[in-house]
């Protein structure tokens, strides 16, 4: 009996960490795509997602309901930090290293595509990514968080650090711009 009680106590302790691990595992692919769209470079996107996940470990004791807005806020802040650092580097220092993909987002040449990815799916994703790339940053964030990540308006507003009305405005403008850009492709 005492051995069973100690096993229960050991499993009760790390349960939030396991839940956080499961949360991070479930969000990693979407977070990477979100970061890659925002940063336009695969390596920077990987760094941003990894940094956000590392920072989330400090919040393992928080309720699981808080993890989603907290993670996206951390990731968004990290993306903005990288964009600012890049901007400073472009203005004052040497140019950034050349992008081996020519500075464009080349979604179709993903080195490890999943087996269920068809040509049409790749092309649709490329069109959407290109259209998102044309949007202003705040509209791109609102669209990605509300539509692609399916966060509610209140959570998106907390992540973006603005009011719910501002989120709705950015989302409306993003949808209009995307519809105009993607209309010929449909």
Q: Give percent of the chain with pLDDT exceeding 70.
A: 70
pTM: 0.55
144: left (phi over 0), alpha (psi -120 to 50) or beta: alpha
Cα torsion 86, 90, 94, 96 to 10°: value is 50
The candidate with the shortest Cα–Cα distance to 46, out of 58, 28, 59, is 28
The whole-number pLDDT of residue 185 equals: 59
The whole-number pLDDT of residue 109 equals: 52
- Locate the domains of the chain by residue range: 12-93, 118-186
- pLDDT (tens digit per residue) in 90-107: 554 444 444 444 444 444
> Domain 118-186 class?
mainly alpha
Cα torsion 124, 26, 29, 136 to 10°: value is 70
- pLDDT (tens digit per residue) in 142-154: 998 888 888 899 9
- pLDDT (tens digit per residue) in 111-120: 545 555 456 6
Cα–Cα–Cα angle for 42, 44, 45, rounded to 5 degrees? 60
The candidate with the shortest Cα–Cα distance to 186, out of 145, 128, 143, 118, is 128
The whole-number pLDDT of residue 139 equals: 92
Distance (Å, rounded) from C-alpha 135 to C-alpha 40? 13
| DSSP code per residue over 18-73 | HHHHHHHHHHHHHHHHHHHHHHS-HHHHHHHHHHHHHHHGGGTTS-HHHHHHHHHH
The whole-number pLDDT of residue 28 equals: 93
Q: Which two tokens stand for residue 31?
A: 């977070």
Burial zone of 63 (CB within 10 Å; 0-12 exposed, 13-18 middle, 19+ buried): exposed
């Amino acid at each position: 009996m005492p051995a069973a009680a100690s096993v229960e106590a050991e499993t009760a302790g790390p349960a939030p960490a396991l839940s956080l691990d499961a949360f991070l595992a479930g969000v990693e692919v979407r977070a990477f795509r979100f970061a890659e769209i925002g940063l336009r470079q695969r390596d920077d996107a990987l760094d941003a997602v990894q940094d956000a996940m590392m920072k989330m470990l400090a919040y393992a004791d928080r309720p699981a309901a808080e993890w989603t807005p907290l993670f996206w806020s951390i990731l968004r802040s990290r993306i903005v930090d990288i964009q600012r650092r890049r901007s400073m580097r472009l203005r004052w220092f040497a140019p950034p290293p050349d992008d081996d993909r020519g500075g464009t987002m080349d979604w179709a040449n993903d080195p490890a595509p999943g087996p269920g990815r068809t040509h049409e799916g790749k092309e649709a994703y490329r069109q959407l990514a290109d259209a998102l790339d044309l949007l202003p940053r705040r509209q791109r964030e609102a669209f990605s968080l509300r539509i692609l990540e399916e966060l509610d308006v209140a959570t998106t507003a907390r992540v973006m650090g603005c009011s719910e009305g501002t989120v709705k405005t950015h989302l409306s403008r993003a949808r209009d711009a995307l519809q105009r850009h993607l209309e010929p492709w449909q």
